[in-house]
């Protein structure tokens, strides 16, 4: 579904990424895990097609199982690090505006709102939402197009523990939907171990992949104790890269 190879990505004198390669199979959830500044958001912007100024190649395919229209270019749903909803539009209008006119059906919007527990908040304006609600609305806006590839930039950061747990459970449900290829960016190892099928560990300056960790247990079967055990096992490895994650 996704193949990215970045020989080099620079911002002027700063080389943000070098020798950075990434693939995701159809239905696979891949986590990019690494410390602040290692280039996670930069990589996601390149994959989303928002930044074409890099030395390398990118290819994204369409999923044959997506809801109509089945043909056409790949659709990408992105949830930014900050929710970025249009403040003068309601939650429902934010979703509607994400849809091309041909796909703009109330039933589609209602189903997505219900999936993310937003039905009661449909007519609220973003300024009247908590951060957790705004994150769910941003996720709904990304999902309403039934994207071939879902990009999530730190979806649980800065939420209190209860809200983060709730959103994590919602994300599990979303990611276990139709083959849902997704990239999850996070600096939180627990979050990645709870949600992803495969972890790519990044190191900074310049950002690159230094380890790859597949997780065999199905997402729905991973409880807190299992996530803790996986994390302890990783941190106990001798490789100094895992100390970045402590």
* Interface positions with ligand ATP (CB under 6 A): 11, 14, 16, 36-42, 187
Give me the count of residues in the chain: 246
Please give the radius of gyration of the chain, using alpha carbons only, rounded to the nearest integer.
18
In whole angstroms, the minimum distance from the beta carbon of 81 to Mg ion comes to: 5
Residue 16 binding partner per list Mg ion, ligand ATP, none, with a CB distance cut-off of 5 to 8 Å that depends on partner kind: ligand ATP
* Close Cβ partners of 113 (under 8 Å, ≥ 6 residues apart): 91, 92, 95, 119, 121, 122, 140
Cβ at position 101, least distance to Mg ion in Å: 32
User: 42 vs 94, which CB is nearer to ligand ATP?
Assistant: 42
State how far the Cα of 226 lies from the Cα of 195, in Å rounded to an integer: 12
Shorter beta-carbon distance to ligand ATP: residue 14 or 229: 14
The answer, yes or no, to whether the previous bond of 49 is cis (omega within 30 of 0) is no
Decide: 139 and 79 in contact? Cβ < 8 Å. yes
CB of 26 to ligand ATP, least distance (A): 26
**186 is an interface residue for Mg ion by CB under 5 A:** no
User: 53, 72, 69: which is closest to 105 by C-alpha?
Assistant: 69
Q: If binding is defined by CB under 5 A, does position 41 make contact with Mg ion? A: yes
Q: How far is the CB of 138 from ligand ATP (least distance, A)?
A: 16
| Contact assessment for residue 186 and residue 202, using Cβ atoms and an 8 Å cutoff | no
Q: With binding defined as CB under 5 A, does residue 90 bind Mg ion?
A: no
Residue 26: half-sphere exposure toward Cβ, Cα within 13 Å: 10
Minimum CB distance to Mg ion smaller for 40 or for 208: 40
Nearer to Mg ion by C-beta: 17 or 113? Answer: 17
d(CA 22, CA 24): 7
Residue 79 tokens, joined: 């949830």
Q: CA nearest 84: which of 40, 43, 134?
A: 134
Of 39 and 126, CB closest to ligand ATP:
39
Q: Which stretch binds Mg ion (CB under 5 A): 37-45, 67-75, 108-116, 192-200?
A: 37-45
Query: Which of ligand ATP, Mg ion, none lies near 39, with the C-beta cut-off 5 to 8 A by kind?
Result: ligand ATP
Only one of the segments 38-46, 48-56, 114-122, 135-143 lies at the binding site for Mg ion (rule: CB under 5 A); that segment is 38-46
Q: Using CB under 5 A as the criterion, which residues of the chain lie in contact with Mg ion when the complex forms?
A: 40-41
């Amino acid at each position: 579904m996704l193949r990215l190879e970045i020989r080099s990505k620079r911002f002027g004198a700063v080389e943000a990424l070098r020798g950075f390669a990434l693939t995701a199979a159809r239905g696979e959830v891949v986590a990019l895990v690494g410390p602040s500044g290692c280039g996670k958001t930069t990589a996601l912007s390149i994959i989303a097609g928002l930044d074409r100024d890099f030395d390398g190649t990118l290819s994204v395919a369409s999923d044959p199982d997506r809801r109509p229209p089945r043909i056409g270019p790949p659709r990408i749903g992105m949830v930014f690090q900050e929710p970025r909803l249009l403040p003068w539009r309601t939650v429902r209008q934010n979703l509607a505006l994400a849809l091309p006119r041909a796909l703009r059906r109330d039933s589609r919007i209602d189903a997505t709102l219900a999936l993310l527990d937003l039905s009661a908040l449909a007519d609220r304006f973003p300024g009247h939402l908590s951060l957790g609600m705004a994150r769910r609305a941003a996720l709904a806006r990304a999902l309403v197009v039934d994207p071939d590839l879902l990009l999530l930039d730190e979806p649980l950061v800065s939420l209190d523990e209860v809200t983060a747990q709730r959103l994590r459970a919602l994300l599990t449900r979303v990611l276990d939907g139709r083959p849902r290829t997704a990239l999850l960016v996070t600096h939180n190892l627990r979050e990645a171990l709870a949600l992803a099928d495969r972890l790519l560990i990044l190191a900074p300056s310049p950002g690159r992949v230094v380890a790859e960790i597949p997780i065999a247990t199905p997402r729905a079967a991973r409880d807190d104790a299992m996530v803790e055990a996986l994390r302890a096992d990783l941190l106990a490895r001798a490789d100094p890269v895992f100390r970045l994650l402590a």
